[in-house]
Each structure stands twice: as C-alpha cells, then as structure tokens.
A = this chain, B = another copy of it.
Amino acid sequence: MAANSADSLTPAIAADHPGVGELFAVLAYGEISAFYRLAEDAQMAPTLPGKVALASMAAAEMNHFETLHAALTARGQEIYAAMAPFVKPLDDYHASTRPSTWLESLVKAHVGDGIAADFYLEIADALDPSVAAVVREVLAETGHSEFVVHEVSAAVAASKRDKDRLMLWGRRLLGEAITQAQFVMAQREALTELVITATGDLNSIAALFDRMQERHAERMAVLGLV
C-alpha cells in the first residue's frame, strides 16, 4: 500500500523533495533509451505497418521526454546532468533484453513499458499532485497496444513453439526489469528515500514487486501468453 492510502489525504512526498528531480530524470532517460530501442527493433518488422507502429511508439516516447524536459527545467535542473547517473543502468537493461525476433520486440515494447508504468504509477500515488500529474502524463497509454495485442495473439494462437518461447521471454523481461529497477533506484540517495517513503517501507517494496508480478501475468494473458 502506498503511504498516502485512506489513512491520510496529504501526499507523503512534497513537490520540493530532492528525489523528485531524480525521478523525472530517470523517466526522461527511460524515454530516450526506449526511443532508440524501438527504432532499432523496427528493423525486424516484416511489414511497413509494423515498422510504422514501432516508429509511432518511439515518437510518443519523445513527446513524453519533452514534458519531462520542461518539468526539470521548471525546477531549475539541467536535464543532461540530471540524466547522467541513469544512463548505464537503463542501457544495461536494454542490452540484457535485446530481442532476437520481431515478436520478441513487440512483447518487449508492450510488456516492458507496462512493468515500468506499474512501478512508477504506484509511486505517483504518494506524490504531490503537481508532480504526480507529470508522472501520470508520461506513463499514459499511447494507444498503440492494440497493434501489439493483435499481432502477438494471432502469432501465438498459430504456433505453440512461438508461444512457449515468448512466455519464457516475458518472464525474463520481468526479472531483468526488477533487477535493473533496484540498480536504478540505488543510483541516488534522494531517489531511494523517495521510493521507500512512497511505498511505506522495505517490506512494502517487496509487496509492490508482488503486485507488479500479478499485473505482468494479466498483461501476458491479454497477449495470449497464458
């Protein structure tokens, strides 16, 4: 449970908490790295509509980046300096989950974004509304999941082998995401403190990871991966 659950109407984390700029910065570099991952993965697209779908998702990431850039600038922070600590852990996540097929790309685009959104949206519940609004805006669904759901569920309905491989792939994505999330959060003390305050305590973080696992399973089921 987030620390600002029913027992309190005041957000646990004020807008001027030093971890807020770091949260915006990790989200900002997440958009950049997702942009380039999607643009690169699109080279595996077997059709032009597939290529366009990934380009549109990538463009949506950059629109979110602009929102975070503005939010950091408004806080008097230089975005490139702020993003620097997060470059390596996020690049490492992508390097450790490089898709080798078009279907793996689609599952990663959909499931990877979903895992990140689950995590940050729970944190958002504990943030000052002005900060939470930025976080929710940049994690909002961009309306491209329909394409992914259609492509993946059709493929796995037709091939037991694809289904088995993608189920393993989904499990690996979740594992790597949770591992990397811990590295990311550990980069900066203020951010670690923000996450612990937002979730309640260290036990609550474990509970959060459990909830993320459940939602991941639901998301996989929508893709026919159950």
Chain A residues within CB distance 8 Å of chain B: 32, 35-36, 39-40, 42, 48-49, 51-52, 55-56, 58-59, 61-63, 65-66, 80, 83, 87
In the complex, what residues of B have CB within 8 A of residue A48's CB?
A: 32, 80, 83, 87
**Contact, CB under 8 Å: B58 / A32:** no
Number of copies: 2
Give Cα distance in the complex from A131 to B80, angstroms: 40
In the complex, what residues of B have CB within 8 A of residue A58's CB?
A: 35, 39, 55, 58-59, 62
Nearest CB of B to A98, in Å: 15
Centre residue among A49, A58, A87 by max chain B CB count within 10 A: A58
Give Cα distance in the complex from A218 to B49, angstroms: 38
**Contact, CB under 8 Å: B49 / A42:** no
Give Cα distance in the complex from A65 to B56, angstroms: 9
